[in-house]
Homo-oligomer: A and B are copies of this chain.
């Protein structure tokens, strides 16, 4: 069983779906790329870090690399959506490294609500990308990223100020106590955490808490905690030279052995092999 799904994208992934069936992600996902999700029709429930949100047409969800997310159909079966995944570094096709870094400083995981002319222009950019998406050859990739660049330029001016790490459950039916628990896990994953204490803190029975928690996040309490911790492990394996003991300590695993067991059950390989493989590719 894979309680988390890591979907790697080496380049640009672009997809439009119009679906008449309910669709529920089987597991929480995260990527090492940016994701931009745009709701065009119907409704879709999204769980993302501290955010539980019922996405409506005009809503855009920006998901930073390594941020866990989960989506499902709740109130409406019918929906339409664009999804875009791209590695930040690929923008270097068009930008200098400094420009790219300055641009991405503006982005953090959040939900934007677009209306009127701005929403129209957003759709227009995505239709442009759609028209050249299957092209290859001379300058084709640069052309595709020119649309990504235009989209980022449009969204950057609409980004809210970096929020306080607050609980956000706009237009969702998720109970405040569950949001509070999610927020607690996101903040304290480095510490020992146990289910009994958390359920106690929010004044719920363990059974009731587990049911509501899993409805909100798409994962059980233990899966969710491991998922949060594993995204941090993943990131540290790629971006630092920390030893496995140091990583275990900074991500709340009781020992390197514990970390390796949980990691192995998700990625089907040891953390050190994972690190080596990634470095060999890049």
Please give the residue numbers on chain A whose beta carbons come within 8 Å of chain B beta carbons, in ascending order: 94-95, 99, 102-103, 117, 121, 124-125, 127-128, 131-132, 138-139, 142-143, 146-147, 149-150, 153
CB of A125, distance to nearest CB on chain B (Å): 7
How many copies of this chain does one complex carry?
2
- CB-contact partner of A128 in B124, B131, B139, B142, under 8 A: B124
In the complex, are the beta carbons of A139 and B153 less than 8 A apart? Answer: yes
- Interface-centre pick from A117, A121, A143, A146 (highest chain B CB count, 10 A): A146
What residue in chain B is nearest A138 (Cβ atoms)? B102
- Whole-angstrom distance between the alpha carbons of A95 and B139 in the complex? 9
CB of A190, distance to nearest CB on chain B (Å): 36
Q: List 29 A-B contacts (CB under 8 A).
A: A94-B94, A94-B142, A94-B146, A95-B139, A95-B142, A99-B138, A99-B139, A99-B142, A102-B138, A103-B138, A103-B139, A117-B131, A121-B128, A121-B131, A124-B124, A124-B127, A124-B128, A125-B128, A128-B150, A132-B153, A139-B153, A142-B149, A143-B149, A143-B150, A143-B153, A146-B146, A146-B149, A146-B150, A147-B150
User: Which B residues lie within 8 Å of A99 (CB)?
Assistant: 138-139, 142
What residue in chain B is nearest A143 (Cβ atoms)? B153
Nearest 5 CB-CB pairings of A with B: A146-B146, A143-B153, A94-B94, A124-B124, A146-B149
User: Which B residues lie within 8 Å of A125 (CB)?
Assistant: 128
| Interface SS of A by simple majority | helix
Excluding A99-B139, A132-B153, 6 further A-B contacts by CB distance (< 8 Å) are A94-B142, A95-B139, A99-B142, A143-B149, A143-B150, A146-B149
- Whole-angstrom distance between the alpha carbons of A64 and B90 in the complex? 32
User: Which B residues lie within 8 Å of A138 (CB)?
Assistant: 99, 102-103
CB of A139, distance to nearest CB on chain B (Å): 6
User: Which B residues lie within 8 Å of A150 (CB)?
Assistant: 128, 143, 146-147
What residue in chain B is nearest A100 (Cβ atoms)? B139
- Whole-angstrom distance between the alpha carbons of A150 and B140 in the complex? 10
CB of A161, distance to nearest CB on chain B (Å): 17
What residue in chain B is nearest A135 (Cβ atoms)? B153
CB of A158, distance to nearest CB on chain B (Å): 14
What residue in chain B is nearest A94 (Cβ atoms)? B94
What residue in chain B is nearest A121 (Cβ atoms)? B131
- Whole-angstrom distance between the alpha carbons of A180 and B21 in the complex? 66
What residue in chain B is nearest A148 (Cβ atoms)? B146
- Whole-angstrom distance between the alpha carbons of A147 and B143 in the complex? 10
User: Which B residues lie within 8 Å of A102 (CB)?
Assistant: 138
CB of A92, distance to nearest CB on chain B (Å): 12
